[in-house]
A and B are shown apart, each in its own frame.
Chain A
């Protein structure tokens, strides 16, 4: 069985790409990150609404044409 110390180059490439993706996300403007959070809330709300009383979708304007946001 493969361990974290014994990864094939293909799997290592996937992990490296994931790491790069995290760093790219970390470097985004904060307003873009907020837009992504609201998107995550939209995705999670139907799943969590019955078991997490905090589950909600922020009712804020996250239109993509605002400064600092990108159109998906």
Chain B
């Protein structure tokens, strides 16, 4: 996992990525119990992103490093990584406010805040998102004031009232 994170960091250093943050199940694991997953979701801001969002420069840079695309993912050091451009205002905000964390107390990485993970779950709305919200409510330390601000900003308050425990 260290090599995966080092590769992501090198993509930022080389200007291939403007910013990245881990999302999905792996991000959830920073705040709650480990859950089964097969891929690593990485939200990205691409530099000089115009009207057309394309991952081609990123995939080209990864190919030069020896990492090939496999379906929706790129296999980086044995881990299928799925890159997702921030495609709506909630994700853009989540990336902007992602937290820097240390993996193995050595390697810096960026992870979406738990409050944004909850909001993304509410917005996505699948059954597994409902489960994840339940785990967060039970296990994570949530800044409720911060969460309420996000929910209000993105019109998710009603769904939160339905989903929260």
Contact = CB atoms under 8 A, between A and B. Distances in A.
B105 A68 contact: yes
B32 A31 contact: no
A68 B35 CA distance: 18
A6 B103 CA distance: 44
B39 A26 contact: no
* Interface residue SS majority, chain B: loop
Nearest to A21: B33
Interface in B48-88: 71, 77-80
Interface string A8-41: 0000000000010011011010110110110011
B165 interface: no
Interface string B16-58: 0000000000000111111111110000000000000000000
Task: Report, as a range, how many residues of chain A touch the other chain.
Answer: 20 to 34
B104 interface: yes
B104 A67 contact: yes
Contacts of B4: 60
Contact of A30 (B3, B71, B103, B135): B103
B61 to A, nearest CB: 21
B153 interface: no
Contacts of A26: 31-33, 139-140
17 contacts: A22-B135, A22-B138, A22-B139, A25-B34, A26-B32, A30-B103, A31-B1, A33-B33, A34-B34, A37-B34, A37-B35, A41-B36, A54-B39, A59-B78, A60-B4, A67-B104, A67-B106
Interface of B: 1, 3-4, 29-39, 71, 77-80, 101, 103-106, 135, 138-140
